Chain A
Amino acid sequence: MFLGTIIYGLLNSAVLAVMAIGFNLTFGISGVANFAYGAMYIFSAYLSWTLFNLLELPYWLAVCASIPTTMALGALMYRFVLLRVRGQALSEVIATFGIGLAILELFNYLGFVGFEYTLPVLIDDSIMIGDTMVDWQRILVTGVAGLLVAGLWAFTHYTRMGLAFRGIAQDERTALTLGIESDRIAMLSVSLGCGLAALAATVIIPLGSISPSEGYEVLIKALAVCIIGGLGSTGGVIVASFLIGFAERFTDTYISSHWTMIVSLAAILLVLGFKPSGLFGRQKELEERI
């Protein structure tokens, strides 16, 4: 049972990291806390579902269409809503949260709830590790988590756009004097964050089902991971995903599954109480040392 808990803790951590990385990317670059993140996750899942089941497109095509569509929706949200309240954190939160609510409640209203709303798994099989059964979809999520972290690292260190992202994230005015357009980069960062939410939905949804309440849960989990790790810190996301991921599985196994939901919320409270900038609070790091 102990080994099984470790394995599932690891897999659960990967799920959390995939869920949180897009939210973290957007915040880290443009300072926009995208509270419509969970809604984007669910939007892309329903879109894939509709394209696959109602229009009967091949599944890969449905996914290839829904991820860019979600990115476009994110870009539009930035261009027509966020741009006008840019720089006022509270207004940005209210605007994105409002948009998220509208999207999720629309799906609720349309009655898109039930077990038939799910996405197919890529490989419908499982393997035994020791005496623990692990399905391939969970292993796939873990692989995606690794690739995402490596890919984003390479993107932000070696590509022109990625370097511009890092420039804007560190000092907007200096970036402006070098010809980097902050509004354009911020729009791209929101869009890319939404795209990562869509990608997360594609690999994670097959483990459960699509429902509007899942959207809220994803947002809470992403927030928990980012707050604990320190908003904007990729290293923080990874460490926090492991912390929460393992804590949830151990609570589940040794205390009661009833308490699992509480873990991430309690962790947020603890971190905010003792180290408000998170474990790897990015901006503070240098200042504290100098």
Chain B
Amino acid sequence: MNTTNSSAEPAPARPLLEVRELMVFFENALAINGLSLEVYAGEIVGVIGSNSAGKTTLMNALSGLIIDMRTKEKRRGGERITLYGSVILNGEEITESPPSERVKKGIVLSRERHPVFSESSVLENLRIAGYLRPRAEVRDTIAYVFELFPHLARLKARRAGFMSGGEQQMLAIGMALVAQPKLLLLDEPLLGLSPLMQQAVMEAIVNLKQHYGITVLLSEQFARPVLPVIDRGYVVENGMLALAGTGAQLMENPEIKSAYFGI
């Protein structure tokens, strides 16, 4: 964890992902309020915010899950979900695309609380994740995942539901990798992990960037392990952007210090 000064070079012209004035309503409650952000290829970008700041809703809007939720709620006559603004990937508007289309375009989300298929083995989880990818490629990526998380390789045949939270989180990230993301979205990857596991997961994320060129957008409420690693960060409060800056800038910010580091 020593990449504090890595964002000095100028960013390329067009962002990989651009969010413009995004607003998400659940009925009349505003979950995200005019949020704009950019992610450039090769960056690790953090979205920092407390519980209920709108991090998960943002991730769902980016991955397209919210489109699926909206359809299902509508069918059920349940909660009305409304979206305004736009989500743009590589210059292409994808605000209304369903999740499967976005996965094909390279946005893959690993949801919060380490989502794994708990009754399947580790290996089977990874194979299910390769639904859209050719067989040989899936095999190679699985080998890479086991390199990235050697601990998982030893648990290949273990049922995912019987593993610890940290192991499940590693598997969840591995599953997202098998889907071949250009932009990997990680929703609270450190939630419920021991400090040691948190460190292992953050190291893996840096490894992904350095050796695999994967762009990562991650959301967290724990700023401490995240800020040293990210290139840039956005601080979100009540669905609104409160602060933005490089990881180093955010670490020096007195408000962040008092709110997230308790200094």
Give Cα A174 to B99, complex, Å: 11
A174 in contact with B68 (CB, 8 Å) = no
Contacts of B75 in A (CB 8 A): 83-87
Select which of A157, A179, A286 is within 8 A of B131 by beta carbon: A179
Q: Please give the distance in Å from B10's CB to the nearest CB on chain A.
A: 33
A286 in contact with B128 (CB, 8 Å) = no
A166 in contact with B111 (CB, 8 Å) = no
Contacts of B116 in A (CB 8 A): 171, 174
Q: Mark B67-80, 1 if CB is under 8 A from A, else 0.
A: 01000100110000
B: number of interface residues (CB 8 Å): 35
Q: Is B127 an interface residue (CB 8 A)?
A: yes
Give Cα A286 to B119, complex, Å: 8
Interface set, chain B 132-170, CB cutoff 8 A to A: 132, 159, 161-162
Contacts of A176 in B (CB 8 A): 65, 68, 99-100
Q: Is B224 an interface residue (CB 8 A)?
A: no
Q: Is B120 an interface residue (CB 8 A)?
A: yes
Closest B residue to A283 by CB, please name it: B119
Give Cα A87 to B103, complex, Å: 24
Q: Mark A264-290, 1 if CB is under 8 A from B, else 0.
A: 000000000000000000100110001
Contacts of B131 in A (CB 8 A): 160, 163-164, 167, 178-180
Give Cα A278 to B178, complex, Å: 36
Closest A residue to B115 by CB, please name it: A174
A: number of interface residues (CB 8 Å): 28
B interface, by DSSP: helix, strand, loop or mixed? helix
Give Cα A183 to B100, complex, Å: 11
Contacts of A167 in B (CB 8 A): 117, 120, 128, 131
Closest A residue to B99 by CB, please name it: A176
Q: Is A170 an interface residue (CB 8 A)?
A: yes
Give Cα A167 to B160, complex, Å: 13
Contacts of A286 in B (CB 8 A): 118-119, 159, 161-162
B99 in contact with A179 (CB, 8 Å) = yes
B110 in contact with A170 (CB, 8 Å) = no
Q: Is B124 an interface residue (CB 8 A)?
A: yes
Contacts of B120 in A (CB 8 A): 166-167, 170
Give Cα A87 to B120, complex, Å: 24
A290 in contact with B161 given A180-B100, A180-B131 (CB within 8 Å): yes
Select which of B100, B159, B162 is within 8 A of A179 by beta carbon: B100
Q: Please give the distance in Å from B61's CB to the nearest CB on chain A.
A: 13
22 cross-chain CB contacts under 8 A: A83-B75, A86-B75, A160-B131, A163-B128, A164-B128, A167-B128, A171-B115, A171-B117, A173-B65, A173-B115, A175-B128, A176-B68, A177-B65, A178-B103, A178-B128, A178-B131, A180-B131, A181-B98, A181-B100, A282-B119, A286-B118, A286-B119
A-binding residues in B (CB < 8 A): 63, 65, 68, 72, 75-76, 98-100, 103-104, 108-111, 115-120, 124, 127-132, 159, 161-162, 175-176, 178-179
